[in-house]
Chain A
């Protein structure tokens, strides 16, 4: 590897992104024309860069919530003494959360368990109440307005409204792995168990049940 290679290689990714200054880009192109080793490397970097960009578009799973952190200061005046208030409840909540996860999943995909036994662990919530909801694990009911399967992400999206002909208010139910699931028909009434959250990505903003842990079809 020559000194030129050593100097120019750090500019590969900015070059591929079109962010290298024109002078440096021209110098790099001239170097690439005469250096087979760098040409080979930049082609691999280019392919890796495309893979990286695809990776960046994949969504990470939803973070867990730790009530001891979430509820800090809610409705209370500021006070000192953070550690005693947080440490013990937080550790207990993690232990309880892991235990609940094991119970609900039953060792396999939650969607494949045909019953959610711990109904009391889910707060009943009407679709119109999502805007003011502060509960994490909820159960809601509504009519299937629209179903869409995202093949790339392998997720099933169900738009759920309160009435059979309502379009609003609505909630989007997202199912991570729909394999083996009986897909509810549009117009059917279903009960959905899962985690309430708000999707605030650019260009859209709606309440979701995501991930869905269980679906019960009430009326086909």
Chain B
């Protein structure tokens, strides 16, 4: 595939944005703007409102879940569970937080519970072999092939609470206040946790990349 290396960059000549379909227009709605109307309509049993909520939040919620659990098959199960819980819980929604923080909170809690349940059956190999074997993870057939793979592996290897803040901060671009509402702890705690998470992330990147 050497000829590809010299191929020009993206040149999608004539790449004009087509008209958005109604579904895509729906998905581009700024989160939060119409949430109250949607929630009230959904409470009245309006299926279209449920559908709008699903289409608006499906992609961001999916990316959070996939990053938190790392496995698409498990992430699919969790995604579905999250929307079931969200739709079932809308009746009790008190408007004390934005809809997206509420759905994110359900997603984070579900991922945490899922991984906790799984850990009972599938403890980490290091727990069995001993932590000295951990240092060998820079070698072997599973070593990440690209920097992108290395970054994903390092984030996924973080303890869950650290992983949560890294994903919400950098992938979802949320503020400390928003993260605080989702994770249920003060912004100062989020900031301290983020420091520890980033320092740990650097340690893991060094290990993966074989840096001193």
State the A residues within 8 Å of B (CB): 9-13, 41, 44-45, 47-49, 51-56, 58, 60-66, 69-74, 76, 78-83, 85-87, 90, 94, 97-98, 130-132, 134, 145-149, 151-154, 156-157, 159, 167-170, 172, 178, 183, 198, 200, 204-207
Contacts and interface: CB of A to CB of B under 8 A. Distances in A.
B17 A204 contact: yes
Interface residues of B, number: 75
B-side interface mostly: helix
B167 to A, nearest CB: 8
B54 to A, nearest CB: 5
18 contacts: A51-B201, A54-B148, A54-B151, A55-B155, A66-B83, A70-B51, A71-B51, A73-B48, A78-B46, A78-B49, A79-B47, A87-B84, A148-B10, A152-B147, A169-B18, A178-B1, A200-B27, A205-B17
A120 B51 CA distance: 27
Interface string B40-62: 01001111111100110011011
A204 B194 contact: no
Interface in B75-108: 76-77, 79-80, 83-84, 87-88
B180 interface: no
Contacts of B84: 87, 90
A148 B9 contact: yes
Given A10-B195, A205-B20, A167 B7 contact: no
B211 to A, nearest CB: 10
B8, B13, B27, B198 interface centre (most CB from chain A within 10 Å) = B198
A-side interface mostly: mixed
Contacts of A152: 146-148
Contacts of B148: 54, 58, 152-154
Interface string B1-31: 1001101111111111111110110011000
Nearest to B190: A10
B45 A82 contact: yes
Contacts of A64: 62, 72, 76, 79
A44, A131, A200, A207 interface centre (most CB from chain B within 10 Å) = A44
A131 B14 CA distance: 16
A58, A159, A170, A206 interface centre (most CB from chain B within 10 Å) = A58
Contacts of A78: 41, 44-49
B200 A48 contact: yes
A179 to B, nearest CB: 8
Contacts of B83: 66, 69
